[in-house]
Every structure is written in structure tokens, then in C-alpha cells.
Amino acid sequence: MGMKCIGIDVGGTSVKIGLFETTGELLDKWEVKTRKENGGANILPDVAASIRGKLQERGLELKKDIAGAGLGVPGPVLPDGSVEVCVNLGWRNINPQKELSELLDGIPVKSGNDANVAALGEMWQGGGKGCRDLVMITLGTGVGGGVIIDQKIIAGRHGLGGEIGHIHVRDEETEHCNCGGVGCLEQVSSATGIAREARRRMAATDKDSVLRKAGDRVTAKDVLDAAKEGDELALEVTETVGHYLGVALATASMIVDPEVFVIGGGVSRAGQFLLDVIRKYYEQFTPISKNKARIVLATLGNDAGIYGAARLIL
Amino acid sequence: MGMKCIGIDVGGTSVKIGLFETTGELLDKWEVKTRKENGGANILPDVAASIRGKLQERGLELKKDIAGAGLGVPGPVLPDGSVEVCVNLGWRNINPQKELSELLDGIPVKSGNDANVAALGEMWQGGGKGCRDLVMITLGTGVGGGVIIDQKIIAGRHGLGGEIGHIHVRDEETEHCNCGGVGCLEQVSSATGIAREARRRMAATDKDSVLRKAGDRVTAKDVLDAAKEGDELALEVTETVGHYLGVALATASMIVDPEVFVIGGGVSRAGQFLLDVIRKYYEQFTPISKNKARIVLATLGNDAGIYGAARLIL
């Protein structure tokens, strides 16, 4: 029986935990509720108790069978593992990897930002399996990202590494992004951004479209489904989204030039259809070289976080 | 007497060579002519002969006193050190690090793209001294760049790492860049690009300006000198240049988040005045965080290449 490792993905509602073989096989996964009261003081003790219970159930021992645990945190993590503020959890000035290690008999614990950790998971066992360098872009309610070079997360000196959603890509934008910027990638390519773009396009033209049935309640899924069916207005929105994603990927290629881009998040359920549009614009903005990164879909879905967290300690 | 190392910067006209202490002190530097005939077959033998002569002159021996040599090449270098095409030198399908090592009694030789190598030099002994992570942008006839993370060059899977000059930053651009793209950073912030921007601005307005004396022969230096003197049209051009450099730096921060940006090349002789304009726009496009990279001037000038090349083998 080989060594095991544990991946922990701390979210605002629940904490996902996975027990893995160090070879990458997921043996078990479960969740515990995230108790945010008292500055999130219960979160790590709850996680530790749950892990102890699971190991006992399986006849495993912490120091004998577990190589270590990794922790994905929904906020910036400094190079020493400390977290200054994590709004979603109520944490302030704690070092969760140090605390969790103490709660787990001193086994090694490493932490990272959850978006970066998800990228590491996709490198280990997901869409980027077999690659050492990748850039992941997660198109959800917002746009997250992670940069992996030589199998390591580029977290950055100030925790900004992989904040792909807040690259400025659109000069003509006038509204503000949540970050305070104007023209961020997130404003046009998140689920929220795609829906907004569709509402704008509907307001700006009289063109007929199946999207008009949903009106202001139109979703990113409505847009991408309609685009696949050939709806002209939905296709225009999709081209705009693909254009700015293509710019962002091209930019990332000119800076770190990864082997592969992995596209994840709810919006990526549109699949190869979406990748083809992104690829078209990525090619347009990288005429400098024929050889460049592939673009693939993420494959681990919501489990990318526990996979990446487990990989942190290997 | 400590070990020495050698840095070699191969250019289209001459090859610069430096002899260093492995602690970073430059002991001697000299140049040999770049003979490009016969597919550049003489370049490496010329370099090797020149190094042997210099060592003899100083009573040094290759295998006893020299830890190794580094080589900056004006083109893409693949991960194994091979060069498919180097137009400026006539090289095709050679592995210059392997060949040079054979010409120098088998001492270790490592190679890298010259812009990336210059960035490593600025990290070692230049504007980024003491930092482990930096992004360098060289504003010359074109715009070059280099990304250093954890003291290592990010060359990229396809040799595109650090090609900052070809990030798309300007949606409103209509002319093509040398790379085939439209709206590249190089088109607006290289010496050539700044002069072009000034010509455009002069043509678009009747505004009086000292730049009109030079007319179509206006240079980037004219623009920045006039801007420092308060010339309104020159200031407008400088703001445009700073705007797009600010976007590019902000983007690099969202991807790799370095400790410092090092600005070099002829245009950077405008000094702190230019940095202040870049900083203003860098701040505008990074509202996401108060903590972010510093922006400093390169300090090694044309010697950055030999410094970085020498650092390659340490």
C-alpha cells in the first residue's frame, strides 16, 4: 500500500476534501460545512477532525500513511503561507498551513490560492496532464486563472500571479470591473460578462434573436447554446467574447509561452465550439510564430481544487 | 584567486565578450567582429580563439580557472540549446552551446535568447540586483523583453517567453507591426514607434510644437526632450506611450507578478521622467492591489548581455 496525500479546497460554503494515492488516484472525497463565525476559527479544526475520522474509518494513520496535505484558499496567500485577509472565510492574519499542520500531528501542509491550485490540479491529472507549463483560465461568475511553469505555481511577489481575469483587454469599455479597473477580461468573458454583453447587443440593435425571449434574464448558457444553433446576435456576442479571450491568451504566450492553455469553469461547458472561437482570435494575435500553445478543456470540474491541493505537497 | 566565467553576447555586427569573477565583477571586456559569411560558420571559432588569446594573456587556463561560458543569441533558442534559424547570423540548425563547448575543451556552455539573457544580467548586477523575479522591457529600435522568475529565464515552450514587444495593447491601431500583428506594444513604445506617434500627432493637429522643426525626421529623443521642457504636443505623445507601457506592465503583473520591472534601451535614457509617466498608467491598470512591482531603470546598458550570459552558467 503506497503513501497517500490529502487535498483540501476551502470554499465559502463548504470545504471539499480528497484522499489520494501519491500517484494521483482519487480514493475518496467528501465535504464539510464552512463555519465562518468567530473569524473562521472553526474551519481548520473542523477539517482536521473530519480527516482524522476518515483515516480512522479506513485504518490509516496520519504520520505513517499520509505524505502531507495541501490547502487551497479563496484569497491571496503570501510566499510563507500566511493569509492577511480572506474575506470569504473571515480569516485575518493567520497562517493556515502552519495551523493545520499542528492540528494534524505535524504532517507537512502547504497552501496556495485556490485558482492557482486548480491550475496545478489540471496539470497533474486534468486537461494539462503530461505538461510542465500551463496557463489555466476559469470562466465562471468571475474569471480566475493560474500560471504553472516547470510544474510550479507562479504565485507572484504580491499574490497577483494568475489574476488573468483582471488583465486589461478592452479599450472601448466604459463600466468599472469589481476590481476597480475598466476593460478587464472578466467584464467580457465571465458568465456575468457574457450575459451583460448579450443585453447590450440586444439593446443596441433591432436584430431578431432567440435571446430576446429571455430578455434581461439572458444567461451565458443561453448565448452559447443559441450561437451553436446559428443565432446571429448570439454569434456576434460569442465572437466578441472569443476576441478578448484570444487577446488574453496571446498576451500570456508572449510573457510565459506555456505548452497548453486549459479552459475551465461553467462557461467552458460550451466545449469545442467555444475553443474554436478562442483559437481563431488567439491565432490572429500571435502571427509572430506558427508554433504555439494548444488550447484544451479542463477535465476535473469542481475537483480540480482538491487534486491541485494534494499535488502541492508532492 | 576565485573561479572566473565568461559572458558572450553575439550580435549581428560584433560579438561582445566579458571575463567575470563568478561573484559578478567584470574583469575585462572586448569585442570580435561577427563574420556572417558561410552561414556564420566562423563566428564560434573566432570567439573561441579570442577567448583562448585573452586567457593566455592573463595566465588563466580554461579547465582550471573557468567555470563555464554563457552565450546570448539574437534569436529563439530551444530548451536543448539548439537554434533552428538565426537570420542575423546566418545560422541554421546548429547547437551553438554544444559547438562552443567542444571548441573550449569541453567547459560548460549554456545559451539563451539575447533579450532574455540581458534581463538575467540586470537581475544579477543591474537595476534588479537583489531580486529573484523581474520583467525587463528594452525600448530600443524595437521592444524586447525578458521574464525572470526565481532567478531563471522563462524562455517558454516555443521560444516566445518575454516577447513583450508583441503583446497586443492598442485596439485602435490600424497599421501592421513587423511581426504581422496590429496594435503591438512595439508599434507605440519603441524609438521608431514614438517617432511615428509624433508624426501622426503633428499631422492630426495644428498645435504649435518645437517638434515641427524636425518634421518627419523627428526622433524619440526629440519627443522626450521636448516633453520634459513642457511642449504640449510632445507631452501628449509621451502620455500615449506611457499609457500602453502601463497596460503592458499591468498585464505582466497579472500573469507573473514580478518584484520589479526594469526598463532599458535607448528610450529609457529619458530616465525618471519616463518612469513617472509609465507608473501613472501602471497604477491606473492595477487597481486590484496596492502592493505591486517597483519600476526601475536598467543600469548595465549594452553590457547587460555579457553579464546575463555569464550568469547563465552559475
**What is the model's pTM?**
0.95
* pLDDT above 70: percentage of residues in chain A: 100
User: Tens digit of pLDDT for each residue in A7-65?
Assistant: 999 999 999 999 999 999 999 999 999 999 999 999 999 999 999 999 999 999 999 99
B129's grid cell: 540586483
**Rounded to whole angstroms, how far apart are CA atoms B255 and B247?**
13
The reported pLDDT for the residue numbered B69 is: 98
List chain B residues with CB under 8 Å of A257.
154-161, 163
List chain B residues with CB under 8 Å of A155.
257
User: Tens digit of pLDDT for each residue in A118-158?
Assistant: 999 999 999 999 999 999 999 999 999 999 999 999 999 99
The reported pLDDT for the residue numbered A13 is: 93
Q: Which residues of B touch A (CB under 8 A)?
A: 133, 135, 147, 149, 154-164, 166-168, 170-172, 179-181, 247, 250-259, 285-289, 291-293
Q: Do A292 and B160 touch (CB under 8 A)?
A: yes
Interface test with B, best of A167, A174, A255 (most B CBs within 10 A): A255
User: Tens digit of pLDDT for each residue in A250-297?
Assistant: 999 999 999 999 999 999 999 999 999 999 999 999 999 999 999 999
Q: For residues A118-146, b (16+ Cβ closer than 10 Å) or e, as one string?
A: bbbbbbbbbbbbebebbbbbbbbebbbbb
List chain A residues with CB under 8 Å of B292.
158, 160
Close Cβ partners of B4 (under 8 Å, ≥ 6 residues apart): B19, B20, B21, B22, B27, B60, B65, B66, B67
Q: From B169, which residue of chain A is nearest by alpha-carbon distance?
A: A169
Q: How far is B307 from chain A (nearest CA, A)?
A: 22
Q: From A159, which residue of chain B is nearest by alpha-carbon distance?
A: B257
* pLDDT above 90: percentage of residues in chain A: 96
Provide the sign of the torsion angle of the four alpha carbons B102, B104, B106, B107, taken in this order: negative
Which of B170, B181, B257 is facing A158, going by the closest CB pair? B257
Strands A4-10 and A26-33: unpaired
Which of A171, A255, A292 is facing B256, going by the closest CB pair? A255
The reported pLDDT for the residue numbered B112 is: 96
Is the pLDDT assigned to residue A224 strictly greater than 90?
yes
Burial class (CB in 10 A: 0-12, 13-18, 19+), B63: exposed
The reported pLDDT for the residue numbered B301 is: 96
Q: Do B253 and A156 touch (CB under 8 A)?
A: yes
Which of B179, B257, B288 is facing A288, going by the closest CB pair? B179
Q: Do A161 and B288 touch (CB under 8 A)?
A: no
Mean pLDDT value across chain B: 96
Which of B192, B276, B185, B179 is CA-nearest to residue B235?
A: B276
DSSP for B172-218, written as a single string: T--SBPTTS-BSBHHHHHSHHHHHHHHHHHHHH-----THHHHGGG-
Measured from the Cβ of residue A205, the count of other Cβ atoms closer than 10 Å reads: 12
H or E stretch at A28: strand A26-33
**Rounded to whole angstroms, how far apart are CA atoms B27 and B240?**
42
Q: From B243, which residue of chain A is nearest by alpha-carbon distance?
A: A171
**Rounded to whole angstroms, how far apart are CA atoms A257 and A163?**
16
Measured from the Cβ of residue B27, the count of other Cβ atoms closer than 10 Å reads: 12
What is the tally of helices (H) and strands (E) in chain A?
11, 12
Among the listed ranges A256-265, B81-90, B160-169, B235-244, which one has the minimum average pLDDT value? B81-90
Provide the sign of the torsion angle of the four alpha carbons B277, B282, B284, B285, taken in this order: positive
Give CA torsion, residues A186, A188, A191, A192, to 10 deg. 90
The reported pLDDT for the residue numbered B88 is: 86
Q: Do A167 and B251 touch (CB under 8 A)?
A: yes
Average pLDDT over residues A202-222: 97
Measured from the Cβ of residue B195, the count of other Cβ atoms closer than 10 Å reads: 21
Q: Do B255 and A251 touch (CB under 8 A)?
A: yes
pLDDT confidence of B85, banded at 50, 70, 90? confident
3-state secondary structure of A269: helix
List chain A residues with CB under 8 Å of B258.
156-157
Q: Do B287 and A162 touch (CB under 8 A)?
A: no
B279's grid cell: 507608473
The reported pLDDT for the residue numbered B197 is: 98
The reported pLDDT for the residue numbered A88 is: 86
Is the pLDDT assigned to residue A307 strictly greater than 90?
yes
Q: What does chain B come to in residues?
A: 314
A9's grid cell: 479546497
User: Tens digit of pLDDT for each residue in B246-305?
Assistant: 999 999 999 999 999 999 999 999 999 999 999 999 999 999 999 999 999 999 999 999
Close Cβ partners of B38 (under 8 Å, ≥ 6 residues apart): B90
Is the pLDDT assigned to residue A177 strictly greater than 90?
yes
Is the pLDDT assigned to residue B1 strictly greater than 90?
no
List chain A residues with CB under 8 Å of B167.
250-251, 254-255
Is the pLDDT assigned to residue B94 strictly greater than 80?
yes
Q: How far is B177 from chain A (nearest CA, A)?
A: 10
Q: How far is A201 from chain B (nearest CA, A)?
A: 20
CB of A278 within 8 A of CB of A295? yes
* pLDDT above 70: percentage of residues in chain B: 100
**Rounded to whole angstroms, how far apart are CA atoms B31 and B35?**
12
CB of B156 within 8 A of CB of A256? yes
Which of A157, A170, A180 is facing B257, going by the closest CB pair? A157
Question: First and final CA of chain B: distance in angstroms?
Answer: 17
**Rounded to whole angstroms, how far apart are CA atoms B102 and B96?**
10
Which of A160, A164, A132, A130 is CA-nearest to residue A148?
A: A132
* ipTM confidence score: 0.94
pLDDT confidence of A79, banded at 50, 70, 90? confident
Q: Do A255 and B258 touch (CB under 8 A)?
A: no
Q: Do A160 and B251 touch (CB under 8 A)?
A: no
The reported pLDDT for the residue numbered A216 is: 96
Edge to edge, the sheet with strand A66-73 lists: A26-33, A14-21, A4-10, A66-73, A109-113
Q: Tally A–B CB contacts below 8 A.
A: 141
Q: How far is A59 from chain B (nearest CA, A)?
A: 41
**Rounded to whole angstroms, how far apart are CA atoms A104 and A62?**
7
**Rounded to whole angstroms, how far apart are CA atoms B254 and A313?**
25
pLDDT confidence of B72, banded at 50, 70, 90? very high
User: Pick the residue with more confidence: B31 or B87?
Assistant: B31
A267's grid cell: 462557461
List chain B residues with CB under 8 Å of A292.
158, 160
